[in-house]
Amino acid sequence: MTIDSLELGPIRPPSEASSLLLRVTRNCSWNRCKFCHIYKGKRFELRPVADIKQEILAVKAIQDRLNEAAAKAGGVEAAAVSILNNPLSETHFNVALWLYHGGTSAFLQDANTLIMPTPSLVEVIKFLKKTLPTITRITSYGRSKTAAKKKLEELKALHEAGLDRLHIGLESGYDPILEYMDKGVTAAAHIVGGKKIVESGISLSEYVLLGLGGKKMWREHATETARVLNEIQEADFIRVRTLTIKEGMPLYEEVKDGKFVRATDEEIVAEEKLLIENLDCRSYFISDHITNLLQEIEGQLPEDKDKMLAVIDRFQSLSAEERQNFRLGRRIGIYASLDDLGDPGKHGLVEQAVAKVAKDGKVDEEILYSLMERFI
């Protein structure tokens, strides 16, 4: 196996941008969710432990050469930058980026590493930490149902080996939505899996997909998702994403056929408000994805709830024209937060954009949806 043959999966959480990416499983063990297109048409596979170890050794070889070059380049960061500017491969870029940011974290890909037999995953994690001792944090994606089926002792063994955090796609806590979207899990299993992860000592990051109930089930989506998170109680993070639909997703065809009616940004903001109002747990709420309209909503629950709701109230109190201006400005990448509305230069640019695309003073929702599609 050559260094350039190291495998990299297609995605990782935004919070793992500086982590070393190591593909432990291929694709998704479920792969039926209507709102996801990432792994459609691809077969799930458990990678052999021996192959994973070989790739860890290959990373070590790149790291060793970079450390040798660092003496001439003026430090590891400078040597890493030289690789980032002219990488030999995607693997070299991944390793250089990891080292540039300190070389302390690793993310195990793909969609449900937790389904790997526990002894095999423990073996991989221990070998990773032994071979690359600068790594102090190891994280991965997992499914609630898989966690629910694991024995608590297995999750504790993974934590003791070095698994620090699991990123779980909760998406919704409302069973009719979970069934409609073919998520393959129930609200009850979400709770069992989440609580078991927390009890094991592994940090839990739960993902909520705003807009997943569409226009029909948005209230239930908000209140029941809050209920599930309240039952789990101590998820370290609640991370929100906004439903974005594109060709290749089964849900795309249902939208075309009128079976699923999408919520607008303003309706999703109302949904998010209802979600936050109903949350009564000890978690850090964060909106760390560009698909979210109000990305500045962030804080520790329960103490920061009023601060987060104030952001929503501020948006909802704007005039219809200013809300439209902000929505388009966010979707074309000019605005990062509501404060940017006060920047005359940015505001003027967005006004020009509105004038170009609006009909009778209104920007069509389909234009805004299409702009969001660029980010997934």
Distance from C-alpha of 86 to C-alpha of 132, rounded to nearest angstrom: 24
| Predicted pLDDT of residue 90 | 83
| Candidates 3.30.1330.10, 3.40.50.300, 3.30.750.200, 1.10.1450.10; CATH matching 165-317 | 3.30.750.200
> Three-state DSSP class for 293?
coil
The total number of residues shown for the chain amounts to: 376
Q: What is the pLDDT of residue 62?
A: 86
Per-residue pLDDT tens digits of the chain, which is 376 residues long: 445 568 899 999 999 999 999 999 999 999 999 999 999 999 999 999 999 999 999 999 988 888 777 777 778 888 788 878 887 788 888 888 898 899 999 999 999 999 999 999 999 999 999 999 999 999 999 999 999 999 999 999 999 999 999 999 999 999 999 999 999 999 999 999 999 999 999 999 999 999 999 999 999 999 999 999 999 999 999 999 999 999 999 999 999 999 999 999 999 999 999 999 999 999 999 999 999 999 999 999 999 999 999 999 999 999 999 999 999 999 999 999 999 999 999 999 999 999 999 999 999 999 999 999 888 7
How does DSSP assign 91-154, residue by residue?
HHHHHHHHHHTTS-EEEEESTTGGGS-HHHHHHHHHHHHHHSTT--EEEEEE-HHHHHHS-HHH
Q: Where are the domains of the chain?
A: 1-142, 165-317, 318-376
Confidence at residue 1, expressed as pLDDT on a 0 to 100 scale: 42
DSSP 8-class letter at 89: S
Return the pLDDT at 4. Answer: 54
How many angstroms separate the CA atoms of 113 and 147, rounded? 11
